[in-house]
Structure 1
Amino acid sequence: MSKRRRPMTDEDGKDAALIWDFHQMHHQLRPCSVGICLGGPDPGIASFAAELFRRRLYPLLLFTGANSPDTRAWFPRGEALHNCERAIELGVPADAVLVEPAATNTGENITLSRQLLADAGIETANVMLISMAYMERRAFATCRKMWPDVDVICASEPLEFDAYAERIGDPPLALDMIVGDLQRVIEYPKKGFAIPQHVPDHVLNAYDRLVAAGYTTRLAAV
């Protein structure tokens, strides 16, 4: 249950930085069969996906995602379609993209993208998941559960928490988001949505402090 937040403090920012770093997998990027660009409330995802395409890290770029309350204002026709159009504007060839427009959560992002690639006869020994930085770990855990036979590399635009919070224009909301994703990393394996992952004590302590401070608007019912 959410409650009124107190004003954001320097200590909150330090806890946010700990969780932000934990959410990132810190994978070494290498060429993959396909890039899968996940949706979210950040237009920078598509730009970064296009940059990685230009760096020849994948020959095919799949955009996945319908809409959510967080993204409807920015992407009224769906996350996948808007992100695809942005990537094409940035030079990705139209014949190098696929669009999966129906997924409404990360599990569907993975399963529907997998099905689309299979239907197209595209072999995928490995995939690169491009997401917001704070979604990397959950995307990885979900993919390992839903698509266990594929090798997964996670990538996100190199941003610190403060820069991301400034980009979206609402630091407390950014904090809510990273707290909510950490809760899902912890809880979703129990529901069969993702593989379990070890969460260090210092990250759990930061999470507990931020929840106690009221950064709870993105927590899921468990």
Structure 2
Amino acid sequence: MHWPSEVRRDAETLWRFHRLKHALRPVDVAVGLGSHDDGVPVHVAELYRRGLFPSVVFTGANSPTTVDRFPHGEAVGFREIALEHGVPRAAIRVETTATTTVENIRFTRDLLAGDGVTPRSVLLVSRPYQQRRAHAVATRVWPGVTVRCSAARQDLDSYVAHIGDADRVVTMLVGDTQRLELQARSGEIAPQEIPGDVRAAYSRLVATGYTGRLLRPR
């Protein structure tokens, strides 16, 4: 992995900001958020084997970055990986239509409600740098539920090695940072406190050209 030291430094700043360090405790249900990262269902399986939850919902349709990897959808692809890692089929539900994090949470909530399941506690399992935004979305969309987050315990360099594409990871980090601001502005999540060093790192990475995941402000 070769990338300019200043890009590595700014990416590390965003990486540390977006990761949460929630203590793991037993919950009523886990939610595996769909993405290109096949480490998510592997981590779900590890936590399931530890007895932290009795069932999991994998949620996600497709996006341009995942359709080749998971042609039947992210949730279905994640289910297959979880099955390979020992999670029984009876413990897995899939939600196959969500295309955003807000939809991931909302559609999962509705799926469970339709099955008569009203959890009091939920564990969101996601890409490492999706944790802060996923938590902010869930606490707004799913009030009254205790929400915790977890992701594979990787540092930035090992995560990039796993994904195999440093530019993709940096671009996604930049995109998630922008979404925190935009979703707070739209009311989808509560306003987020973004430290000055994070804002500065984000601005430098945007100026460098890591703009592939930026949204046009509405």
Same fold (TM over 0.5): yes
Match of 2:40 in 1: 45
Match of 2:102 in 1: 107
- Counterpart of 1:65, as a letter, is G
Match of 1:162 in 2: 157
Whole-Å separation in 1 of the counterparts to 2:157 and 2:34: 21
TM-score, scaled to structure 1: 0.94
- Counterpart of 1:36, as a letter, is V
TM-score, scaled to structure 2: 0.96
* Residue among 56, 61, 66 paired with 2:56: 61
* Residue among 13, 27, 31 paired with 1:32: 27
SS for the counterpart of 1:217 is coil
The alignment of Structure 1 onto Structure 2 pairs a total of residues equal to: 216
Q: Post-superposition shift, 1:8?
A: 3.8
SS for the counterpart of 1:148 is coil
Whole-Å separation in 1 of the counterparts to 2:148 and 2:52: 11
- Counterpart of 1:199, as a letter, is I
Whole-Å separation in 2 of the counterparts to 1:169 and 1:86: 19
Structure 2: give runs of 5+ residues left out of the alignment. Answer: none
Structure 1: give runs of 5+ residues left out of the alignment. Answer: 1-6
Whole-Å separation in 2 of the counterparts to 1:55 and 1:41: 25
Is 1:70 the counterpart of 2:73? The answer is no
Runs of 4+ in 1 over 6 A off after TM superposition: none
* Residue among 13, 20, 40 paired with 1:18: 13
Match of 1:177 in 2: 172
Match of 1:135 in 2: 130
**Identity value in percent:** 44
Whole-Å separation in 2 of the counterparts to 1:157 and 1:44: 7
Bigger mean CA offset, 72-81 vs 141-150? 141-150
For 1:138-157, list aligned pairs within 5 A.
Answer: 138-157=133-152
1:51-105 C-alpha deviation (Å, 9 max, x unpaired): 1100111111111001000111110000001101111111111111111111111
- Counterpart of 2:10, as a letter, is D
